[in-house]
């Protein structure tokens, strides 16, 4: 997030697109609802009529995969009504003219057609956003998990700059990060082209810095992303995979393909707290300690580095992940020893400029938001203040493009996926909580009642869903929150797993799979 969670309360307008906030980031959802009670306007764009839609001044029930068209349409209205922030654009951005040329093609009537929403609602949403003094955009995987994911994020950035909503409080571009420490895992260089602190592996100065710090040679060629790793494994180019705390056998697209990749290795190590579906395939399983059994830090979605504290001893012979990795590194010839995670943080401070001022002592009572370059720096509440980080904010001219798979006569429905309030990701943890299983016991598919009637499907009945990649059986949930040609499934459940159906087609820049759009067919299964 460019901005902070608490700033939501003072926003004049909130635009939520591709985020079911009240279920996936429930506490942020409460901040949004409070802001609305305080008088903030709310715009919601989502293929499902989610809870927040009930609080919205405008709800745009868009067809999955049409985010860019919608955003372009809103920007068209803003420019044509002369509501853009000319001073901000002039002083702090570049490439506006080229961008504007593309936007002019996205008239509200054309966009209404592409997105399947009313023209007047697009205009209303655009006017609310543009007229607000402080307007924040909040998004999640509904924006990013598309073959156009990166471009969709750029479009959000365009909209935000167009109205000068960057570099001030209660505004900004705010991705809501799904996992407790996905922000931190990125910050720490858990990415194939980035050393810790987003320092590029192919930059010679960076390479030299880390070689000095680690006292060894490091490779300068960018590595492979997860989808590329699995493709390489299936081809036989990758022989050894080490998986720490992930369960791709449920979470990743096209599970049949993941299985082929993981069973085609010479050696698979899985380190986890439970024997997950992925761990079942391993040659060696290493028992890790849970978050309650170790010290450390997580970085939340607003860049706040916060303490994790050891409450109990590791169960059985399990060990904290840092200790396991360190012991393996030691056996593989790297002799660096850390007695406590705080010593690792001391090394992180020297490696990562954004974390330069973060020590366990300073974050004892309250976490600090990076960038925090030195020990006297208070941390950064919101980014791009006074000046956009790259110098000038770059407008990108971006066209709408269809999803990789669109419905046809054989696969007539669009399947989109997501999470529910009562489970988390692959249910490794929540699946072991009795009360949650009572509230959300099994896989299901949301079907519009008109569609259900046509196919003779009743609520609770078994249905078979088939895509070009796989076929599963799940249970029908007849509802009016999805459109007639759209189906929604939570991906949590290993049995009746939505990810047997999903598409592995990637966004060419970020390599994110198009989990939000797959073409499927559906039939009733006789009991």
What residues from 275 to 304 belong to the interface with another protein (CB under 8 A)? 275, 279, 282-288, 290-294, 296-302, 304
Burial (CB count <10 Å: 0-12, 13-18, 19+), residue 352: buried
- x/- contact string, 4-23, with another protein (CB under 8 A)? xxx---------------x-
Query: Which residue among 82, 97, 205, 317 contacts another protein (CB under 8 A)?
Result: 317
x/- site string to another protein, residues 431 to 450, per CB under 8 A? Answer: -xxxxx-xx-----------
Taking the C-alpha atoms of residue 411 and residue 415, their distance in angstroms, rounded to an integer, is: 10
48: left (phi over 0), alpha (psi -120 to 50) or beta: beta
Pairwise CA distance, residues 247 & 44, whole Å: 31
> How many Å separate Cα 225 from the centre of its chain?
15
Handedness of CA 432, 436, 441, 445 (dihedral sign): negative
Helix (H, G, I), strand (E, B) or coil at 55: helix
Q: Is 30 in the site for another protein (CB under 8 A)?
A: yes
Which residue, chain included where needed, has tokens 């969709």?
152
- Distance spanning both ends of the chain, measured CA to CA: 48
Task: Give Cβ neighbours of residue 377 (< 8 Å, ≥ 6 apart).
Answer: 356, 357, 371
CB of 13 or CB of 463, closer to another protein: 13
Q: Which residues contact 105 (CB under 8 A, 6 or more apart)?
A: 72, 399
Contact flags string 42-81 toward another protein, x per CB under 8 A: ----------------------------------------
Residue range at the interface with another protein (CB under 8 A); choices 86-94, 116-124, 313-321, 407-415? 313-321
232 part of the interface to another protein, by CB under 8 A:
yes
Q: What are phi and psi of 307, to 5 degrees?
A: -75, 145
Residue nearer to another protein on the CB measure, 116 or 287: 287
Task: Pick from 14, 56, 68, 201 the residue near another protein by CB under 8 A.
Answer: 201
HSE (side-chain half, CA atoms, 13 Å) at 133? 5
**Of residues 142-181, which lie at the interface with another protein (CB under 8 A)?**
144-145, 176-181
Q: CA angle, corner 48, sides to 171 and 301, nearest 5?
A: 35
Strand ranges in 117-247 using DSSP code E only, listed in sequence order: 135-139, 172-175, 194-195, 199-200, 240-244
Verify binding: residue 428, another protein, rule CB under 8 A: yes
For another protein, the binding residue among 83, 127, 328, 481 (CB under 8 A) is 328
Distance CA 113, CA 122 (A): 11
Site residues for another protein, window 178-197 (CB under 8 A)? 178-193, 195-196
Q: Does 116 bind another protein (CB under 8 A)?
A: no
| Measured CA angle at 304 (ends 301, 310), to 5 deg | 105
Q: By CB under 8 A, which span of 162-170, 385-393, 456-464, 504-512 interacts with another protein?
A: 504-512
Phi, psi of 524 (to 5 degrees): -75, 140
Binder of another protein out of 88, 96, 99, 422 (CB under 8 A): 422
Map the footprint of another protein across residues 247-266, applying CB under 8 A. Answer: 248, 251-252, 266
The reply on whether position 420 binds another protein by CB under 8 A is no
**Contact with another protein (CB under 8 A): which of 218, 375, 473, 525?**
218
Nearest approach in angstroms of CB 444 to another protein is: 18
CB 12 to another protein: min, Å: 18
What is the footprint of another protein within residues 451-470 (CB under 8 A)? none
Least Å distance between CB 308 and another protein? Answer: 5
Whichever of 160 and 278 has its CB closer to another protein, that residue is: 278
Cβ 262 to another protein, closest distance in Å?
A: 11
The DSSP element (H or E) to which 208 belongs, if any, is: helix 204-214
- Check binding of 241 to another protein (CB under 8 A): yes
**DSSP secondary structure letters along 167-199:** SSTT-EEEE--SSTTHHHHHHTT-BTTEETTTE
Residue 167 contacts residue 382 (beta carbons within 8 Å): yes
User: What is the Cα–Cα distance from 233 to 53, expressed in whole angstroms?
Assistant: 43
Q: What is the CA radius of gyration of the chain?
A: 24
Candidate residues 15, 25, 173, 474; the one interacting with another protein per rule CB under 8 A: 25
Sign of dihedral through CA atoms 139, 142, 148, 149?
positive
Choose between 223 and 412: whose C-beta lies nearer to another protein.
223
Nearest distance in Å: CB 495, another protein: 17
Q: Total residues contacting another protein (rule CB under 8 A)?
A: 147
Q: How far is the CB of 367 from another protein (least distance, A)?
A: 7
When asked if residue 205 is in the footprint of another protein (CB under 8 A), the reply is no
475 binds another protein (CB under 8 A): no
Q: Find the part of the chain contacting another protein (CB under 8 A) among 118-126, 314-322, 445-453, 482-490.
A: 314-322
Q: Which is nearer to another protein, 58 or 241 (CB)?
A: 241
Position 327 contacts another protein (CB under 8 A): yes
**Residue carrying the six token digits 């009795």:** 434
Q: How far is the CB of 80 from another protein (least distance, A)?
A: 36
Q: Tell me the closest approach of the beta carbon of residue 461 to another protein, in angstroms.
A: 23
Residue ranges in 335-394 that form contacts with another protein under rule CB under 8 A: 338, 341, 344-345, 347-348, 351, 366-367
């Amino acid at each position: 997030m460019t901005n902070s969670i608490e700033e939501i309360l003072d926003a004049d307008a909130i635009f939520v697109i591709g985020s079911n906030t009240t279920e996936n980031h429930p506490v942020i959802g409460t901040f949004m609802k409070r802001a609305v009670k305080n008088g903030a306007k709310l715009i919601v764009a989502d293929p499902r009529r989610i809870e927040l839609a009930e609080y919205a001044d405008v709800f745009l029930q868009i067809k999955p995969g049409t985010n860019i068209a919608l955003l372009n349409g809103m920007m068209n209205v803003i420019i044509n009504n002369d509501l853009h922030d000319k001073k901000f654009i002039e002083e702090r951005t570049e490439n506006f003219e080229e961008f504007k040329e593309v936007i002019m093609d996205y008239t509200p009537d054309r966009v209404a057609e592409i997105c399947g929403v009313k023209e007047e609602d697009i205009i209303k949403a655009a006017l609310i956003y543009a007229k607000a003094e402080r307007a924040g955009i909040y998004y999640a995987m509904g924006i990013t998990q598309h073959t156009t994911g990166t471009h969709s994020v750029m479009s959000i950035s365009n909209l935000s700059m167009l109205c000068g909503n960057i570099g001030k409080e209660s505004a900004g571009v705010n991705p809501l990060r799904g996992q407790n420490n996905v922000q931190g895992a990125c910050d720490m260089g858990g990415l194939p082209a980035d050393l810790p602190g987003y320092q590029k592996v192919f930059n010679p100065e960076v390479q030299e810095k880390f070689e000095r710090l680690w006292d060894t040679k490091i490779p300068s060629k960018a590595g492979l992303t997860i989808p590329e790793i699995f493709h390489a494994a299936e081809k036989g180019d990758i022989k050894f995979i080490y998986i720490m705390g992930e369960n791709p056998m449920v979470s990743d697209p096209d599970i049949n393909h993941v299985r082929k990749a993981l069973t085609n290795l010479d050696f698979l190590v899985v380190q986890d707290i439970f024997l997950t579906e992925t761990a079942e395939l391993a040659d060696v399983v290493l028992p890790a300690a849970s978050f309650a059994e170790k010290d450390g830090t997580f970085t939340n979605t607003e860049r706040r580095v916060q303490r994790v504290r050891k409450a109990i001893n590791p169960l059985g012979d399990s060990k904290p992940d840092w200790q396991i990795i360190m012991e393996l590194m030691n056996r593989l010839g790297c002799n660096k020893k850390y007695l406590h995670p705080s010593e690792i943080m001391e090394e992180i401070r020297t490696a990562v400029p954004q974390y330069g001022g973060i020590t366990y002592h300073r974050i004892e009572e309250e976490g600090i938001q990076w960038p925090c370059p030195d020990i006297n720096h208070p941390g950064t509440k919101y980014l791009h203040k006074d000046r956009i980080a790259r110098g000038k904010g770059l407008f990108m001219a971006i066209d709408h493009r269809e999803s990789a798979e669109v419905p046809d006569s054989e696969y007539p429905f669009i399947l989109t996926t997501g999470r529910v309030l009562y489970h988390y990701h692959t249910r490794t943890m929540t699946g072991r909580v009795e009360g949650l299983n009572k509230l959300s016991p099994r896989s299901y598919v949301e079907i519009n009642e008109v569609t259900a009637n046509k196919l003779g499907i009743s609520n609770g009945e078994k249905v078979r869903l088939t895509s070009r990649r796989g076929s599963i059986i799940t249970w029908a949930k007849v509802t009016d929150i999805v459109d007639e040609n759209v189906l929604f499934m939570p991906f949590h459940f290993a049995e009746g797993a939505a990810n047997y159906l999903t598409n592995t087609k990637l966004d060419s820049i970020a390599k994110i799979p198009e989990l939000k759009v797959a073409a499927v067919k559906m039939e009733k299964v006789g009991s």
